[in-house]
Amino acid sequence: MIANAFGAIAYIAMAVAVNEMFAATESSVLGQRRRVLLAALAAGALVQLLLGLAAYFNFPSVVPGLQMAAAVCLVSIPLNFWPVVARIKARRLRVLNTRLSARAQRAEASVTALHAWLALAEQSGHVGHWQLTVAENQLLWSDEIYRIHGLWREHYKPRIETALAAFHPVDGKRVGVLMREALATQGHFEVAARLRRPDGEIRHVIMRGAAALDSGGHVESLNGVMVDVTEPKRAEARALPHSPARDQPLEDDLTGLADRRQFDLSLGYEFKRAVRSRKPLGMVLLEIDHFRAFTAYYGLLDADACLRMVAQAVQAVPRRTGDVVARYGDTEIAVLLPLADAAGAQRVAMQILEAVRALGLPNAGHESGALTVSCGAAAFVGMDDLYNPLELTRRAARALADAKDSGGNRICGYREVELLEV
Q: Read off the pLDDT of residues 132-166 as tens digits, 9 standing for 90 and up.
A: 998 888 999 988 899 898 888 888 888 888 888 88
| 126-239 carries CATH number 3.40.50.150 | no
Q: For residue 42, what pLDDT band results from cuts at 50, 70 and 90?
A: confident
Q: Where along the chain do the CATH 3.30.450.20 domains lie?
A: 126-239
* pLDDT tens-digit map of 46-93: 777 777 777 767 767 766 776 677 666 666 666 665 566 666 556 554
* The CATH classification of domain 246-413, taken from the options 3.40.1410.10, 3.40.1280.10, 3.30.70.270, 3.40.50.2000: 3.30.70.270
- 30, containing H or E segment: helix 27-30
Q: What is the pLDDT of residue 372?
A: 92
Q: Average pLDDT in the 226-243 region?
A: 74
* pLDDT tens-digit map of 288-317: 999 988 998 899 999 999 999 999 999 888
User: In sequence order, which residues have a C-beta less than 8 Å from that of residue 141 and are 6 or more positions away?
Assistant: 128, 130, 153, 158
Alpha-helical runs (H) found in 228-290: 230-239, 260-277
Which span out of 232-241, 265-274, 394-403 was modeled with the highest average pLDDT?
Answer: 394-403
Q: What is the pLDDT of residue 245?
A: 46
Q: What is the DSSP letter of 387?
A: -
Q: Are 230 and 204 in contact (CB under 8 A)?
A: yes
Strand order in the sheet with 219-228: 139-141, 127-133, 219-228, 202-213, 188-196
* pLDDT tens-digit map of 361-397: 998 877 778 899 999 999 988 766 666 788 899 999 9
Q: Where along the chain do the CATH 3.30.70.270 domains lie?
A: 246-413
The CA–CA distances, whole Å, from 193 to 163, 181, 228, 252, 298 equal: 12, 17, 10, 29, 42
Q: What is the pLDDT of residue 64?
A: 74
φ, ψ of residue 104 in degrees (nearest 5): -65, -40
Question: Is the confidence at residue 287, as pLDDT, over 80?
Answer: yes
φ, ψ of residue 105 in degrees (nearest 5): -65, -40
User: In sequence order, which residues have a C-beta less than 8 Å from that of residue 354 and are 6 or more positions away?
Assistant: none
Question: Is the confidence at residue 244, as pLDDT, over 50?
Answer: no
3-state secondary structure of 301: helix
Q: Could you give the angle at the alpha carbon of 238 between the alpha carbons of 235 and 242, nearest 5°?
A: 165
